């Protein structure tokens, strides 16, 4: 009852700064407590560190991997290349790439700079993951909340629709949609959104069903709030913790599936900074050794072409997985305290 | 509720889902481009094009088109696969055994290893064994199947030479007899046993090892995690304390009392894991050049072969729905409370 009144007070006629501060106080306290709990969980902290490092890499990509002079100002997502055969780690750039530099992680087909691709690929992955999960959550929340709150025929129809999408294995559903739409990164993202919203709708519906009977929801209804207002201001905000936990884990899984799709050949063509595509390029050189320096008679198997982008995908997925696992323990009120 | 009623109810619930899946796939066929395009050439007059469209009912409203399309599907007309150069239904028959062999072996490996690891991990909680298992399970969830495939291929096939790099059988073994004539059921493991042909049987198993392990890895991780969790929950139950206090040996307590009950929640994830397996099969088959449906579908995407892609989508959806039905029935059998909902 008190909570509903407070929310009412804070939101009606704008509310002064003091009022907002007052209404936020318990939430801030909760958040500080959550952060404290998290700092005590080793695995969650490892996950957080991996995620932060990857975000750092994505943000500072122009500093970490500038490429040849002037490169990252023009078309940074294209990986620079020297058109020579793959070279092992630490060999110098070929003549075609203007400027001095070394291939820190070696070079790939057409002499693509693997290090550059790995660093800038972090941008592609974070962008894909956040975009897909965010849109999927919004669709899922709206559909799930409406289905759970209104029940009846709306619920029945919407849940049968989610059933349909859940009855096709995710990667294959995404593959079919992406195949029909044509190959590009945008279409992969669209396909992944179609795969990802139904589970959120399910979770949301379940949450709304349990919460809509609580006393504070009844109180909000009793003071005469409109249906939509009750649903989206009083019910939905209190159902978000399982959504947040799932979303954190899914940020990693989205990249896993997106990389899989890119590996089969959907998504951007070779030369674009995308980890899945880079791994697929490495597979082409899998069983053939390359000679370096040319004419020296020393042969290498170019494992670096697939191993480094592969490692980045692995770390990305693991980071979000650990973080999500940690968040679950923290946000679940039955497990905390 | 009786078991029979439960199964009938579950089957009835399948109908709207299957109709929904068919509508979805139908919509994809219409988005993919004009289905008559294959029959239209540049020299045709608008009248001729209209005639063709009328013949394939493309001038009718979408609902009518859907009914014609569904009729075709039910009569086995799934279109023509450009990649396989066969009608789609024949292509599925051709490629299904290889995929089934691979996924079935993988799910067996995953279930056996997953349940064993989960049990051990829970019984020896917080020991090095437990930590090791959990790290392995984490890796299984996070490592993309195509990267694991490359690692396995690189280490065990290319560097060590223990297993073949790709393929389902050694071509040289089939010099004197063509594979087409050799097959009886299409399931290579079964066929070689039926012919009591041990050399080719070992060859088939030898080729199956790496792709099956690769495909199973992710499911092992999922099953291990769930099994460990449900074991830990079960171990604290009163009936376990009772079993211990009446002096039963620890082995019997773990195997007969704890593990049996912990298996119940694990059964549900097997259905879920199977979906991941079907998706993973596309990647695994592509990398190991395994001549199954996944490789066929992946090849079809390269050539924009819609009929194959959508046929593959439809058949995997059917298989997935069917497997989940079996899992649900098993779950209801193991845990009678489910039937009472």
The pLDDT tens digits for A241-295 are 888 888 888 899 999 999 988 888 888 888 888 898 888 888 877 777 777 777 7
Regarding an ipTM greater than 0.95, the answer is no
* Between A58 and A25, residue with greater pLDDT: A58
Are the C-beta atoms of A76 and A267 separated by less than 8 Å? no
* Between B287 and B54, residue with greater pLDDT: B287
How open is the CA angle A215-A221-A225, to the nearest 5 degrees? 140
Q: How far apart are CA A203 and CA A140, in angstroms?
A: 8
Residue-level pLDDT at A337 = 47
Are the C-beta atoms of A19 and A9 separated by less than 8 Å? yes
Are the C-beta atoms of A81 and A97 separated by less than 8 Å? yes
What are B222's two structure tokens? 């999922």
Query: How many interchain CB pairs under 8 A, A with B?
Result: 136
Q: Write out chain B residues lying below 8 Å of A165, CB-based.
A: 24
Residue-level pLDDT at A114 = 85
B301: contact with A, CB 8 A cutoff: yes
Residue-level pLDDT at B185 = 77
Are the C-beta atoms of A326 and A46 separated by less than 8 Å? no
In percent, the amount of chain B with pLDDT more than 90 equals 8
For B215-231, what is the mean pLDDT?
89
Q: Is the dihedral of CA A85, A88, A93, A95 positive or negative?
A: negative
Q: Write out chain A residues lying below 8 Å of B147, CB-based.
A: 279, 306, 310, 313-314
A321: contact with B, CB 8 A cutoff: yes
Q: How far apart are CA B237 and CA B244, in angstroms?
A: 11
Residue-level pLDDT at B34 = 63
Residue A13 clears pLDDT 60, i.e. is over it:
no
Least confident stretch, A29-43, A124-138, A241-255, B250-264: A29-43
pLDDT tens per residue, range A69-118? 777 677 888 887 777 777 777 777 776 777 777 777 878 787 788 888 88
Residue B109 clears pLDDT 90, i.e. is over it:
yes
pLDDT tens per residue, range A51-82? 999 999 999 888 887 777 777 677 888 887 77
Interface of A with B in 228-257 (CB under 8 A): 252, 256
How many CB atoms neighbour CB A15 within 10 A? 14
For B186-208, what is the mean pLDDT?
80
Residue A219 clears pLDDT 70, i.e. is over it:
yes
Q: How far apart are CA B323 and CA B326, in angstroms?
A: 5
* Between A60 and B174, residue with greater pLDDT: A60
Q: How far apart are CA A317 and CA B143, in angstroms?
A: 8
Q: How far apart are CA B253 and CA B231, in angstroms?
A: 12
Query: Which candidate in A179, A195, A277 is best for mutational testing of the B interface (most B CBs within 10 A)?
Result: A179
Q: How far apart are CA A245 and CA A47, in angstroms?
A: 13
DSSP track, A255-295: HHHHHHHHHHT-SSPTTBS-HHHHHHHHHHTTT--EESSTT
In percent, the amount of chain A with pLDDT more than 70 equals 93
Residue-level pLDDT at A9 = 46
- Spatial CA neighbour of A244 closest among A209, A206, A203: A203
For A154-178, what is the mean pLDDT?
88
| A303 → chain B, closest CA residue | B154
Contact A177 B298 (CB under 8 A): no
Residue A313 clears pLDDT 90, i.e. is over it:
yes
In percent, the amount of chain B with pLDDT more than 70 equals 95
pLDDT tens per residue, range B302-324? 887 888 888 899 999 988 888 88
Residue-level pLDDT at A335 = 55
pLDDT band at residue A334 under the 50/70/90 scheme: low
For A163-190, what is the mean pLDDT?
87
Classify each residue of B2-39 as buried b or exposed e, where b means 16 or more C-beta atoms within 10 Å of its C-beta. Answer: eeeebbeeeeeeeeebeebbbebbbebbeebeebbeee
B299: contact with A, CB 8 A cutoff: no
Least confident stretch, A177-181, B59-63, B148-152, B309-313: B59-63
A114: contact with B, CB 8 A cutoff: no
- Spatial CA neighbour of A54 closest among A122, A117, A6: A122
The SS3 of residue B89 is helix
Half-sphere CA count of A177, side-chain side, radius 13 A:
22
Residue-level pLDDT at B45 = 75
For A312-327, what is the mean pLDDT?
90
A286: contact with B, CB 8 A cutoff: yes
Task: For chain A, give the number of residues.
Answer: 337
For A171-188, what is the mean pLDDT?
87
pLDDT band at residue A1 under the 50/70/90 scheme: very low
pLDDT band at residue B174 under the 50/70/90 scheme: confident
Are the C-beta atoms of A259 and B150 separated by less than 8 Å? no
């Amino acid at each position: 009852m008190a909570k509903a009144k407070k929310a009412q007070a804070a939101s009606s006629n704008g509310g002064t700064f003091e009022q907002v501060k007052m209404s936020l106080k318990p939430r801030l306290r909760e958040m500080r407590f959550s952060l404290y709990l998290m700092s005590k969980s080793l695995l969650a902290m490892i996950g957080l560190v991996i995620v932060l490092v990857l975000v750092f890499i994505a943000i500072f990509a122009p500093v970490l991997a500038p490429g040849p002079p002037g490169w990252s100002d023009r078309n940074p997502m294209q990986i620079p290349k020297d058109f020579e055969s793959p070279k092992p780690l630490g060999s110098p750039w070929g003549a075609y790439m203007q400027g001095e530099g070394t291939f820190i992680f070696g070079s790939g087909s057409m002499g693509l700079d693997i290090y550059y691709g790995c660093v800038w690929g972090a941008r592609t992955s974070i962008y894909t993951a956040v975009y897909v999960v965010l849109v999927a959550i919004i669709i899922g929340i709206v559909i799930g909340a409406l289905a759970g709150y209104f029940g009846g025929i709306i619920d029945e129809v919407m849940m049968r629709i989610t059933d349909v999408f859940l009855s096709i294995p995710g990667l294959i559903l995404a593959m079919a949609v992406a195949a029909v739409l044509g190959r590009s990164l945008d279409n992969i993202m669209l396909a992944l959104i179609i795969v990802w919203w139904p589970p959120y709708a399910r979770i949301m519906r379940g949450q709304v069903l349990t919460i809509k009977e609580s006393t504070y929801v009844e109180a909000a209804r009793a003071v005469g709030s409109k249906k939509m207002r009750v649903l989206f201001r009083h019910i939905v905000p209190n159902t978000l913790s399982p959504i947040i936990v799932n979303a954190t884990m899914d940020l990693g899984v989205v990249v896993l599936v997106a990389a899989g799709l890119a590996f089969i050949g959907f998504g951007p063509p070779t030369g674009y900074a995308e980890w899945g595509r880079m791994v697929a390029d490495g597979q082409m050189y899998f069983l053939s050794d390359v000679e370096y320096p040319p004419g020296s008679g020393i042969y290498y198997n170019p494992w670096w072409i697939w191993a480094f982008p592969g490692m980045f995908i692995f770390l990305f997925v693991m980071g979000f997985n650990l973080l999500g696992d940690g968040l679950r323990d923290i946000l679940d009120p039955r497990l905390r305290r | 509720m009786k078991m029979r009623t439960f199964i009938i109810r579950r089957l009835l619930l399948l109908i709207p889902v299957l109709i929904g899946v068919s509508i979805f796939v139908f919509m994809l066929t219409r988005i993919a481009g004009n289905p008559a395009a294959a029959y239209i050439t540049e020299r045709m007059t608008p009248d001729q094009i209209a005639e063709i469209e009328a013949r394939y009912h493309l001038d009718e409203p979408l609902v009518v088109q859907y009914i014609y399309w569904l009729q075709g599907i039910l009569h086995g007309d799934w279109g023509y696969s450009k990649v396989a150069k066969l009608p789609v239904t024949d292509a599925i028959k051709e490629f299904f055994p290889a995929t089934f062999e691979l996924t079935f072996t993988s799910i067996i490996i995953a279930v056996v290893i997953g349940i064993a690891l989960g049990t051990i991990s829970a019984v020896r909680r917080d020991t090095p064994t437990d930590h090791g298992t959990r790290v392995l399970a984490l890796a299984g969830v996070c490592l993309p199947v195509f990267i694991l495939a490359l690692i396995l291929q690189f280490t065990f096939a290319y560097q060590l030479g223990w297993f073949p790099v790709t393929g389902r059988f050694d071509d040289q073994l089939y010099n004197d007899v063509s594979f087409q004539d050799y097959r009886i059921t299409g399931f290579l493991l079964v066929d070689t046993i039926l012919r009591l042909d041990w050399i080719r049987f070992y060859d088939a198993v030898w080729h199956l090892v790496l792709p099956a392990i690769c495909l199973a890895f992710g499911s092992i991780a999922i099953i291990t995690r769930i099994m460990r969790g449900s074991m830990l929950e079960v171990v604290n139950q009163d009936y376990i304390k009772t079993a211990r206090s009446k002096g039963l040996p620890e082995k019997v307590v773990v195997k007969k009392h704890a593990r049996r009950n912990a298996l119940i929640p694990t059964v549900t994830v097997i259905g879920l894991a199977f979906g991941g397996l079907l998706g993973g099969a596309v990647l695994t088959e592509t990398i190991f050049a395994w001549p199954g449906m996944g490789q066929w579908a992946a090849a079809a995407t390269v050539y924009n072969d819609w009929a194959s892609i959508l046929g593959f989508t439809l058949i995997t959806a059917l298989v997935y729905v069917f497997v989940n039905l079996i899992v649900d029935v098993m779950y209801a059998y193991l845990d009678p409370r489910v039937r009472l909902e």
